[in-house]
Amino acid sequence: MNIKIVKISGNTAERCESYAKQLHSRIQQTYDFYNDVVFKHSDLTEVEIYKRVNILITKTRAVFPNLVSELECISENSNIPLQRIFLINARTEILNASVGECTSIAIPKNNLLAQTWDWIEELEDLMVILIVEKEDGSSFVTLTEPGMLAKIGVNSYGIGVGLNFLKSEHSLDGVPVHLLLRAILDCESLKNVREIVAQSNMGKSSYIPVATSTGEAVGFEFSNNMMQELAPSNDVLLHTNHCLTPNLTSVPLPTSNQRYETTLANLRAGLNLDFATVDRILSDTSSSEAPVQAPYKPSESLGNLAVGTCATIIMELEKLRFSYRKGPNPFGPYHSICLNSL
């Protein structure tokens, strides 16, 4: 089964109404899965979870009131309470799990940004490709989870964004990273991205690579209330699931260091870091213990729910082309969406 494609357009109210109508059942399924299954393996009680949800709503409203308004509009049109939809958007901060081992690569000279998205197997058939056409003529495409406004994507200004989870030793109480990803997809330039990040860089633990169609790339590494920018090294920006900045800390996920070293070696061996080479690097399964393209395996920290590569994404930013492959399938075909030809 291919990934469901959802297209919404118009003003904010029109887009939210269309989003809610097209994804109502999937939003409910996603919430039920997180609430009834995933969060049962959290140390938090249901009361504690929703107390944190309400705190995060308040903090997000202070920084991105427009995004909270969108979630409220989706809530109204789907008859799903705002707190439930917001829980999906804030699940990274609230769960702070020891799983989700993604690998991201930016090649600015070739206008490429790519990554694997590793998460729970059940999300493979729930995730969607969301195409958003706004009333000002701009647009973006993103692979995301139902109920979320965005995750990994590229916009019509040539801004591409990705995500690597970093496990924190602390409770995370800032603007959820998935809402920051959506805010970045509204940006017109890297300067604009930096301004948006500066507004909301507290209380999260993640790495966000951003690259542009003009050959720029930067990585934003967040560790609780600190943030550092990472610049490309030898025209490559590579990250897995541990902090690279010396003064930032995270809890390294089990295969993070080995995947980093494997991918770095493959990047150094690549003669031409084009689409095909990046695909081959992200499809690497040479290590059975730490494959980049990971088959689903039970995760003890999530009650033996199976975790692996839900999707692989390669963005050709100059072409505004978003290519994606479903599942842990190193030999599978890619499907593409080009924002120039919607």
327 in a domain, yes or no? yes
Q: What Å distances lie between residue 153 and 238, 239, 324, CA to CA?
A: 17, 17, 10
Whether 151 is in a domain gets the answer: yes
> Angle 65-78/12-36 helices, nearest 10 degrees?
80
* Position 204, amino acid: K
Q: Is 30 within the bounds of a domain? A: no
Q: What is the CATH number of the domain that holds 329?
A: 3.60.60.10
CA–CA separation, 323 and 275 (whole Å): 10
Distance CA 235, CA 217 (A): 9
Please, are residues 150 and 246 in contact by the beta-carbon 8 Å criterion?
A: no
Half-sphere exposure of 69 (CA within 13 A, CB side): 10
Report the alpha-carbon distance of residue 182 to residue 163 in Å, rounded.
12
In a domain, 77, yes or no: no
Q: Is residue 331 part of a domain?
A: yes
Q: 79: how many CB neighbours lie within 10 A of its CB?
A: 9
Whether 161 is covered by a domain: the verdict is: yes
Backbone angles phi, psi at 44, to 5 degrees: -90, 145
Residue type, 232: P
pLDDT tens by residue, the chain, 342 residues: 799 999 999 999 999 999 999 999 999 999 999 999 999 888 889 999 999 999 999 999 999 999 999 999 999 999 999 999 999 999 999 887 767 789 999 999 999 999 999 999 999 999 999 999 999 999 999 999 999 999 999 999 999 999 999 987 766 788 999 999 999 999 999 999 999 999 986 778 899 999 999 999 999 999 877 899 999 999 999 999 998 998 887 887 889 999 999 999 999 998 789 999 999 999 999 999 999 999 999 998 888 999 999 999 999 999 999 999 999 999 999 999 999 998
For helices 46-63 and 82-89, the axis angle rounded to 10 degrees is 80
Cβ–Cβ contacts within 10 Å for residue 324, how many? 21
In this prediction the pTM is 0.96
Q: Which tokens in the block code for residue 173?
A: 């109480």
Angle made by CA atoms 104, 8, 24, in degrees to the nearest 5: 90
For residue 25, tell me if it sits in a domain.
Answer: no
| Structural domain boundaries enclosing 171 | 98-341
Q: Is residue 64 situated within a structural domain?
A: no
Number of domains in the chain: 1
